[in-house]
Amino acid sequence: MPELASVIAMLGWKLAIDSIKRLREVKFDIDLGSTYFDFVCEYLAFLAHVADRIAHRDLPPEQRQAFTLALATRLADVVEDNANMRLITQVPGACRADFIELFNRAGGEYAEFGYTAEGPDFGFRRRFASRVREFMPEKDSAWIFDQVMEIEIPEGIKALERTLAGLFAKA
């Protein structure tokens, strides 16, 4: 499971950066710094919870638990390794701890919502979009919601589902 989690962590990072590129193309203000870093972390936490739902569907309980734990841990390491994106000095380990806290807090919120063969239900997607809107600049907060719900989530889910289907089939 740690190897599978590493693959998904790297995919998640790529998907988060690709999402930021799309947001910038449509003129959202996501410059390197806190907003950029916060978006990446929020996106990674969302994808990790989606991956957990897919694991729930496709793996036995003990493998799901091992996968999700390994994924959250690996993502926290990736976030810590890229803490310099925040452009402020961080105490070593702080970004890792902050990500684990974010992952746990988001999980409590996402637990209320379902995940079907079509992906996360409306409430799940809406909650993620709401979480993103909280740290966006005022001028973007009204429009980010639609962009996340209609474009960013479907793009990420499609890639995650496809990758996990191949990885879990081998597992």
**Cα–Cα distance, 7 to 21 (Å, whole number):** 21
**DSSP notation for the chain:** -HHHHHHHHHHHHHHHHHHHHHHHHTT----TTHHHHHHHHHHHHHHHHHHHHHHHHHS-HHHHHHHHHHHHHHHHHHHHHTGGGG-S---TTHHHHHHHHHHHHHHHHHTTS-EETTEE-HHHHHHHHHHHHTTS-HHHHHHHHHHIIIIIHHHHHHHHHHHHHHHHHH-
- pLDDT attached to residue 171: 61
Q: Which position has the token pair 């009204």?
A: 142
CB distance 110 to 127 below 8 Å: yes
Rounded Cα distance between 139 and 134, Å, is 12
Strand partners, 120: 115
d(CA 95, CA 118): 33
Q: What is the pTM of this model?
A: 0.93
pLDDT reported for residue 142:
83
- If we measure between CA atoms, which residue out of 74, 72, 132, 124 comes closest to residue 103? 72
Dig out the tokens for 135 from the structure. 């740290």
Q: What is the pLDDT along the chain (171 residues), one digit of tens a residue?
A: 889 999 999 999 999 999 999 999 999 988 888 888 899 999 999 999 999 999 999 999 999 999 999 999 999 999 998 887 665 667 888 889 999 999 999 999 999 999 998 899 999 999 999 999 998 888 888 889 999 999 999 999 999 999 998 888 866
